[in-house]
Amino acid sequence: MARPASALRGHILDAALDLFATRGYKGTSLHDIAQVVGCSKASLLYYFVSKEAILTELLTPAGEELGALDARLAGVEGIPAAEAAVTGFVDLAMRFRREVKVLFQDILGLTGHPALGAVPAVIARLMAAMAEGSAGAKGLVTASMVIGAVSVTCASDLPVPDEDLRAELIRGALRTLDRETP
């Protein structure tokens, strides 16, 4: 019995994301994806014109969510902005763990990808919110540490339940920023 078209498309995306996260984007071919899915390369190309198109489809939701977080932080300042930026970024990194892992696998080749066009500017605004607008060394360095540490931690496969991971990421990030909450 043939799979419905939407199910096959979803299976292609899921298989590609798993392969990109384990082998890297460059280390994965369309043939590899087709083999995992159990279809021909031609069938795969019916749904996606290229491997790049698959990657774009996979990264676009994360980019859109990052933009939404940026919009939610507009007009928020001080400690509330730092806390909202940390919590929002932790939630985003956890939700898109495999996508973050893909980015870390091939970071140099993917930073210019169209689906990530606004990411550097949004990350800069998140860092400013975490640093409470300070351009000083301490604020910038600690905000950068939080962005990097949350990303790397979410890209790893820690044997920690999600609710505990989220709580510890937020607690650790706020502690790093000297914004511990009781």
Q: What percent of the chain has pLDDT over 70?
A: 87
Q: Quote the pTM value.
A: 0.77
Residues 66, 143, single domain; the answer is yes
> Among 29, 49, 69, which residue terminates a domain?
49
Q: How many structural domains is the chain composed of?
A: 2
pLDDT at 136: 80
User: What per-residue string of b and e applies to 72-102 under the rule 16 or more CB within 10 Å gives b?
Assistant: ebeeeeeeebbbbbbbbbbbbbbebbbbbbb
Any idea which residue has 């990530």 for tokens? 116
* 33 and 102 share one domain: no
Does 32 share its domain with 63? no
Distance between CA 155 and CA 27 in Å, rounded?
18
Residue 181 lies in a domain: no
Q: Which residue has the higher pLDDT, 179 or 62?
A: 62
Which position has the higher pLDDT, 105 or 2? 105
* 26: CATH: 1.10.10.60
Give the three-class secondary structure for 141: helix
Domain housing 137: 59-176
Judgement on whether residues 98 and 128 belong to the same structural domain of the protein: yes
Looking at the fold, whether 149 and 121 belong to one and the same domain comes out as yes
pLDDT(27) > 70: yes
Residues 109, 80: Cα–Cα separation, whole Å: 35
pLDDT per residue as tens digits for the range 142-157 = 888 898 888 889 888 8
Smallest Cα–Cα separation from 88: which of 48, 161, 155, 146?
A: 146
**Confidence band of 1 (pLDDT split at 50, 70, 90):** very low
- 109 shares a domain with 25: no
Residue 20: inside a domain? yes
Residues 70/126, Cβ–Cβ less than 8 Å = yes
Residues 160 and 72 in one domain: yes
Q: What is the total residue count of the chain? A: 182
- What is the reported pLDDT for 17? 95
Query: Quick check: is 115 in a domain?
Result: yes
pLDDT tens, position by position, 66-122? 889 999 999 888 888 889 999 998 999 899 989 988 877 766 556 666 766 677 778
Do 171 and 94 sit in the same domain of this protein? yes
Residues 81 and 99 placed together within one structural domain of the fold: yes
Looking at residue 49, its amino acid is V
Residue 63 lies in a domain: yes
User: Is residue 166 predicted with pLDDT exceeding 90?
Assistant: yes
Could you tell me if residue 118 is inside a domain? yes
Range 27-49 average pLDDT: 94
**Same domain, residue pair 103 and 159:** yes
Q: Looking at the domain assignment, is residue 54 inside a domain?
A: no
| Same structural domain, 76 and 120 | yes
| Whether 100 and 133 share a structural domain | yes
